[in-house]
Chain A
Amino acid sequence: MKMKIPSLVTLLSLGCVVENSNEIDGLLWDTEVVATTDGIYAALPHSGALVRIQDNNTYKVIDLNGAEPVRMVTTPDGSKALIFARWPQCTNDNEDIVDVSDCDEDELEWNAELVVVEDGVAGEPINIPGHMNALAFTEDGSKAVAYLDYSEDTIIEISGIVDLSEVVIIDLEGDQTQNAVSIGFSPDNILFNADGTKAVILSRSKVVLVDMVSFDVLVEFPLVLDADQTVNPSGAVLTEDGTKVLVSVSGSSDMYVLNLEDGNYSIDMEELSGAPADLAVAKSTEQTLVVYGSLAQVDFVDNSSGDLQPAQTIDLDEPVSSVLMASDFAVLYNNAGGDYYDVVKLDLDTTEDHELRVENPIHSMQMSESEQYAVAVLRPEDSWGGGLSQYADENWGLAVINLIDGEEEVISLVVESQPVGVELIEDTDASTTYALVLMDGVDSVLKIDLARPSAYTEVELEAPPVGIGALPDATGFYITHESALGLISFLNPANNEITTAHGFAVVELLDDDTLPRREGEEE
């Protein structure tokens, strides 16, 4: 009998490769990274890990003792990263429950904590209420106040009771003691005096002055006399000498002037020209500038008396909604969403104003450290004209604003796509200022000489960028990319060299969701 036997190779190769698909629940890494002096910290949502990435393409997994990072901030000096973290706990003691997925949803609790990470080492966790998601720091970074920064898409996970009037003051040095202080409903604006010994905390209808050494509430300033009334502070500034805080209120022309001097606490009210859009303290003239999104004028408040100075009011051609404060001048502009194009350079000493005009409405603006240039991102707008004007209207742009005395001018540029990141750097050797510009979907970063905006260098990137940030030690910049497995570029602006760190998002790629820190068991 003849029998055909398939060749050995055919048999061996039959079905040797299986093609399939699988799903991963959650991003492998979060591009919202933070930079400290010892590296970039990135959260890995899928694995629940925190990694520190360095520019030599190495990374370290930070031991959070089973907690997973939720949100990250850094201290003002960039020496520490503060991690809002949480860890799961199953209320069911059944020994068969090993993984998070084994625990029923209604038996699963999440515990919140704040962890200070320095030089790749996590400190002892600081217990904070789970709903707190933001920190305000004293100028020297030695103390912080944790609070809830609430936006409409914020989800507050309730375990038991949530006190929405509470903040937690944390000493970041030494024993990292913390103290909860009840302030008033929804405290979300915190100011510190220059030496960090006092904090002004604003909440609905109340302003509280807190001693940052003893954690005692020194004085409470009620903003209403009738409990049926409520006012929501929209903005606040602390005068340079720390003796007064000026508080604006949503939808009202009222401004509260609170005297913070020891033994002389008082509240005064000033009637402004309208509901202010922004307040900014001018240190050189000891005044506060007030701008209104709907009024084409800028007002001045004397910081020593808290009084409006109507005689100094400056009328403008267009309303402005924001103020960028320099040493001896201010830049006023409108980015509130309307069709306004004026940028005003206001000399604080002489109150002379120099009006400039950009091509498209302003999306955002920033000023260089040298105060010689400002760069604005211009958004597209509906176009009623034709030709080049229409072309400019329909595209994103950049405005390079020369603020040098006697050379004030605007150069408006059209860019390839929406800028997703702009950073300004000073080149002291070349005595010029550069702007680093990332654009959506474009695999390069533009380095624009602000003195000669049409002259730019294009530095190729490995992948489309998502964001850019400055490294705290001023050695360069980091750029995050749209990359599933992790990709961060490090740019040295001195020589335009790029180094990359990649593949760091693979930690625990094969999911391991073991319940950490089971009670009564060792880790």
Chain B
Amino acid sequence: MLGINTITLFAALSAPAQAGPNSAVTHELNWELDSQMVSDDNWSQISWTDAVNTIGISGGYGINRNLTLMVGLHHRKYVNDTYIYDFDGEDPTTSFSATQLSVGPKYSVELKSWLRPYATAQAVAWMGTLSADEDLDEEENLNELSWSAFAPGIKAAAGFDIIPLKVGKVEVATHMDFGYGAALNLEFTDENGRIGNGKTGASVGNLNLNGFHVNWGVGIHF
């Protein structure tokens, strides 16, 4: 019995896609605000908020009426005028930019014509760039520095789509989901520096982006 139900479920998920808003399959395109909570104390050096708030777009390719392959790209840059106590010279400007690429399936069901709850699990790649500049007015000054880091991770969330408006074959939708994201640390190292036996770059710092996750967006389904 369990085996038959499993086969049935798999067959349903794999059903070929069909076009149109009232048909089984929808593609989608969204503009989103993505908020990844950060519990790392180091984050306080970058922002007074408790989360990395990024803005971006996501797109979904409908595989069947319930299953959509989602791809998302989000970005935000934080720029800080950094005040250094006891320093009489010109204070530097520091910045941190975060780019998040996500890909993974989204499974939704149609409770009502206007309400579709869903669950999603996606692989995530964080790309962070930490920068410091002593003199913004001088291009390529000696201490215009930046370091990049990459961290893979995952996120899982559950939420719902609300479709308030249908215009022909296009549905205007808004969505919100809540979940949890986990990723390896973003580790920033300076290759001019060495530590220990001299084989590892000097650590500029690291950020841990694990925590609760909220996503909100508006878009179209078609």
Contact of A260 with B by CB under 8 A:
no
Contact of A317 with B by CB under 8 A:
no
Are A23 and B82 in contact (CB-based, < 8 A)? Answer: yes
Closest to A507 in B: B202
Are B80 and A61 in contact (CB-based, < 8 A)? Answer: no
Contacts A27-B86, A510-B42, A510-B45 known; A504 to B77 CB distance under 8 Å? no
Contact of A180 with B by CB under 8 A:
no
Size bracket, chain B contacts: 35 or more
Contact of B132 with A by CB under 8 A:
yes
Contact of B64 with A by CB under 8 A:
no
Q: Which of B56-104 contact A (CB under 8 A)?
A: 56-57, 75-92, 94
Are B57 and A99 in contact (CB-based, < 8 A)? Answer: no
Are B55 and A21 in contact (CB-based, < 8 A)? Answer: no
Contact of A16 with B by CB under 8 A:
yes
Are B57 and A8 in contact (CB-based, < 8 A)? Answer: yes
Are A507 and B83 in contact (CB-based, < 8 A)? Answer: no
Are B194 and A59 in contact (CB-based, < 8 A)? Answer: yes
Contact of A520 with B by CB under 8 A:
no
Number of interface residues of A (CB under 8 A): 49
Q: A75 → chain B, closest Cβ, in Å?
A: 24
Are A510 and B188 in contact (CB-based, < 8 A)? Answer: yes
Contact of B14 with A by CB under 8 A:
no
Are A14 and B142 in contact (CB-based, < 8 A)? Answer: no
* Chain A positions within 8 Å of B82 at CB level: 21-24
* Chain A positions within 8 Å of B80 at CB level: 19-22
User: Binding site of B, secondary structure by majority: helix, strand, loop or mixed?
Assistant: strand
Contact of B23 with A by CB under 8 A:
no
Are A16 and B188 in contact (CB-based, < 8 A)? Answer: no
A483 to B92, CA, bound (A): 9
Contact of A241 with B by CB under 8 A:
no
Interface-central residue, A8, A21, A26, A484, by most chain B CB under 10 Å: A484
A27 to B57, CA, bound (A): 40
Contacts A18-B78, A20-B80, A60-B195 known; A511 to B42 CB distance under 8 Å? yes
Contact of B46 with A by CB under 8 A:
yes
Q: A42 → chain B, closest Cβ, in Å?
A: 12
Are B55 and A14 in contact (CB-based, < 8 A)? Answer: yes
Contact of B10 with A by CB under 8 A:
no
With beta carbons under 8 angstroms apart, the residue of A25, A51, A58, A502 that contacts B142 is A502
With beta carbons under 8 angstroms apart, the residue of A8, A58, A61 that contacts B195 is A61
Closest to B43 in A: A510
| A39-58 interface bits toward B, Cβ cutoff 8 Å, 1 = contact, 0 = none | 00000001000010000011
Are B76 and A18 in contact (CB-based, < 8 A)? Answer: yes
Contacts A20-B47, A484-B91 known; A504 to B193 CB distance under 8 Å? yes
* Chain A positions within 8 Å of B56 at CB level: 12
A16 to B97, CA, bound (A): 10
Contact of A467 with B by CB under 8 A:
no
A21 to B91, CA, bound (A): 11
With beta carbons under 8 angstroms apart, the residue of A46, A59, A502 that contacts B143 is A502
7 A-B pairs, CB-CB below 8 angstroms?
A17-B79, A24-B82, A28-B87, A464-B89, A506-B204, A508-B205, A510-B207
Task: Give 9 closest A-B pairs by Cβ, nearest first.
Answer: A510-B205, A482-B89, A510-B42, A485-B143, A61-B195, A21-B81, A502-B142, A22-B80, A484-B92
Residues of B bordering A, CB below 8 Å: 31, 41-42, 44-48, 53, 55-57, 75-92, 94, 130, 132, 134, 142-143, 145, 165, 167, 172, 188, 190, 192-196, 198, 202-207
Not counting A24-B83, A508-B203, a sample of 4 additional A-B residue pairs whose C-beta atoms are within 8 angstroms of each other reads A12-B55, A27-B87, A59-B202, A509-B132
